[in-house]
Structure 1
Amino acid sequence: MNIDSLFNNESQKNNNRINKLISQISDLINKKHYQPGDKLPPERTLSEKFGVSRRSIRAAILKLESYGILKSMPQSGTFVSNIGRIAMNSMVKDIVSLEMPNFKSLVETRILLELESVKLAALRHTEQGLEKIKDALDAHESKLLSGKDAIQEDLLFHLAIAQVSGNATINKIMIAIAPQIIIEFKKYHVDYDDLDELRINEHIQIYEAIKDRNPELAKKRMKIHFKMLYEYCDTSS
């Protein structure tokens, strides 16, 4: 079984469960003739109605919210967004018919996002933002040099760059996809732990390009850092 199959099996089960809930919530909205601005029943009520956990209900609501169909307001509840019934039903059909992204597609998405986010970080960073990247850089290096696993620090370095880019959409997508990519890549790349010094140096070079406000150099160095990910995409085509 290859990495995509391993990655997709459990994710597909979760995705199917959430998509079923999305369809059920959509049917409820249609059946009850909810209008834009109307409030949905509480998560507890929905979980009892559909016979699932509140965690599953929350995941379905978050997915619908990410597509702009629902809107959650702290301390108030979840509301139907200002979108027409026909458009909503069409979007729900599209959402539930989407295939789960395989590992390769997530890697390709990450590469595209990070090449843009590192350029934006070089152009837009503040002293506070630069310090955030440096803190993640130092924590990653310190962990590796002490012989410890630094996968979390590796992740935080890349997420810090996405945050400093100032693009909320890039930041949100990176938060969603980067952790699984790093975990899965390390799990199935046998040479990962032998490349600590290389990864430290590449992180430093990326940071220096951002610090110098050189977006093209920052992008170039990020591409070098992604060499193994590029190779994975090429070999799995």
Structure 2
Amino acid sequence: MDILENFKAIEVESPVDKIIKQIRNSIVSGQMKPGEKLPSERKLSESFGIGRTYVRDAIKKLEFYGILKTLPQSGTIVSGADISAMEGLISNVIKLNENDFFHLVETRVVMETYACGQAAVRRSNRDIADLEEKLDEYKQRVDANLPGVKEDFNFHIQITEASQNKVIKSLMLILIPDILEIYRKLNVCGEGRFYKSFDEHKVILDCIIKQDAKGAEEAMRVHLKDVVNFSLSYKGNE
């Protein structure tokens, strides 16, 4: 047996990953609280002893995960999202192996199908208004011929909000960003996909408005069918 088979490649953290870890640890430990403003990029760059480009990239990733939020003329603040649920995740951002893609999608389908059905049963008028707002934001991106990844993500998270299941919402906040990152790497969202996705979102929302739980669950399965099929074909090519 070749002794080298027992050795694994050493993963070297990028500067961005190290910045993310430090900011995350400050938030999880309570040193930085929701609503608190981050120092400027320049001050962070000086404190970390690293270029501002790395700081900017780290902030963008943390914004994507909903941990930070940049407000016009106010700077970047710590979001009030479920930050504690993120502990243990962000230090490994972008490091999920594509081989995990099928299992991530499989888990997403189980959770989102259930959440969609519960949203149809439990939704309030406020939930409907919020979902309609998220769908309209998505439509604006699609009509402008722009990728709507973030807006898509926000619509799905709003469904979990309407389901009134905080555990599912927290788990989805962990799962979806990693799935979307692999979507981008594997170019899952091909040309025209965002238009098709928007139409499917409308069907889902219509079922939730009508409180049709079974219809909502089926509409979500149909919506996720393409990515499930893609993940199965990718799994078969490993």
Instruction: Say yes or no: TM over 0.5.
Output: yes
Q: Which residue of 1 aligns with 2:194?
A: 196
Counterpart in 1 of 2:153?
A: 155
- SS of 2:191's partner is helix
Residues 140 and 200 of structure 1 are in contact (CA less than 8 Å); yes or no, is this contact kept in structure 2? yes
| Percentage of identical aligned residues | 21
Amino acid at match of 2:225: K
Paired residue type of 2:156: H
Q: Which residue of 2 aligns with 1:122?
A: 120
Whole-angstrom CA distance in 1 between matches of 2:200 and 2:181:
19
Is 1:56 aligned to 2:35, yes or no? no
**Unaligned stretches of 5+ residues in structure 2:** 1-8, 34-95
User: CA 1:73–1:219 in structure 2 vs 1: closer, same or farther (change >3 Å)?
Assistant: farther
Task: Give 1:58 shift.
Answer: 6.2
CA contact (8 A) 1:117 1:170 kept: yes
For 1:193-232, list aligned pairs within 5 A. Answer: 193-232=191-230
Tell me the CA shift for residue 124 of structure 1.
0.6
How much does 1:182 deviate?
Answer: 2.2
2:156 counterpart SS class = helix
How large is the Cα RMSD of the aligned pairs? 3.1
1:131 to 129, 133, 148: 129
- The one-letter amino acid paired with 1:173 is L
Q: Separation in 2 of the partners of 1:163 and 1:221?
A: 18
Is 2:183–2:189's contact at 8 Å kept on the other side of the alignment? no
Q: Which residue number in structure 1 is paired with residue 43 of structure 2?
A: none
Instruction: Measure the CA separation in 2 of the matches of 1:148 and 1:57.
Output: 33
Which one has the largest radius of gyration?
Answer: 1
Q: How many residues align?
A: 161
Decide which structure has greater helix share: 1
User: 2:108 — aligned with what?
Assistant: 110
One-letter code of the match for 1:139?
E
Segments of structure 1 that go 5 or more residues without pairing to the other structure are 1-8, 19-52, 66-70, 76-99
SS in 2 for 1:192: coil
Change (3 A) 1:220 1:174: same
CA 1:13–1:207: 2 relative to 1, 3 Å:
farther
CA distance in 1, matches of 2:20, 2:194: 37
> In the aligned structure 1, how far is the partner of 2:181 from the partner of 2:127?
25
